[in-house]
Amino acid sequence: MDGLVQWGLEIVRWIQTFRNPVFDQFFLSINFLGDEEFYLLFFPIVFWCFSKMLGKRFGVLFLLSLYVNQFLKDLFAAPRPYQVDSKLYAPAKYTGYGIPSSHAQGTLTVWGYLATQIKSPVWWIIAVTIPLCVGIGRMYLGDHFPQDVLLGWALGIVFVAVYVVLQTRVGDWLGQQSMQMKLVIAVIVPIILAFLHFTLDTATLLGTMLGFYVGLILEERWIGFDTKTVWWKQVIKLVIGLAVTLGLRFSLKAILPPIEISNFVRYGVIGLWISLGAPWVFVKGKLAESVRSKQSTVNS
């Protein structure tokens, strides 16, 4: 392992020989595409304004992918480059272990999956470019060794490939289940994963998973909001929805103690707001139409 760390350290040092103010700003900026804050904004935008199906499918893929990432990080307990060489340029200094890189894995999982669903050459270019730049940036910023990034990319590819193959079959099976059974699955799966590995980071992921998918089942049964509407209503939806999302994130953090169960509860509430609370507000505020109301009108 020491030999691999030293090899990786030499690669990171070599990459940092290209340091200049332009590259510093570029990699610091693009690094945001792998941060929690970006996904907390991006995921609701897709779900509220573009495609509920796409949002709920890539949501579970992303959350499961990063859960495995955190599990492996804690299993390997490997250092980060700046922890081995304090002279490295490392402006952010992320906490936690190194391998595999969650930024590399997360960006490849999200953008790779979106490319498989949208099936446009432009999206395939995006699916290659963003993870590539973010992965190089993780080494440039001193946060990861090349082996961390390579394993993150590899895991992202595996998750996307397996998920694309299985999503239709699993989706069809879930579609045949009763509402009660769906709720049981939405609650039991995160709880089982929490028993297997429960940390501050996995609590965030699993709380989001439980809250979002419980809310989604209830939303599909009682609300069924339509993502499509005029542009100005989309803007208002995003302003209201994201304002409450960020408000919940920061206010609950200030109230709750910094422990695992607090993260689980906090992000469970956020997930519930995204999938159930916000759609209810959109429909009641005439910012979105309800598919359920349309069906009732047609049947009557």
At 292 the pLDDT is 64
At 235 the pLDDT is 95
Tell whether the model's pLDDT for residue 6 goes beyond 60: yes
Q: How far is Cα 253 from Cα 216, in angstroms, rounded to an integer?
A: 24
Q: What is the pTM of this model?
A: 0.91
Give the model's confidence band at 295: pLDDT under 50 very low, under 70 low, under 90 confident, else very high.
low
Give the model's confidence band at 102: pLDDT under 50 very low, under 70 low, under 90 confident, else very high.
very high
Comparing C-alpha atoms, which of 207, 225, 237 is closest to residue 283? 225
pLDDT in tens, 39-59: 999 999 999 999 999 998 989
CA dihedral sign, ordered 214, 58, 281, 295? negative
- Report the alpha-carbon angle 81-24-121, nearest 5: 95
Q: How far is Cα 141 from Cα 132, in angstroms, rounded to an integer?
A: 14
Return the DSSP state at 290: B
Tell whether the model's pLDDT for residue 297 goes beyond 50: no
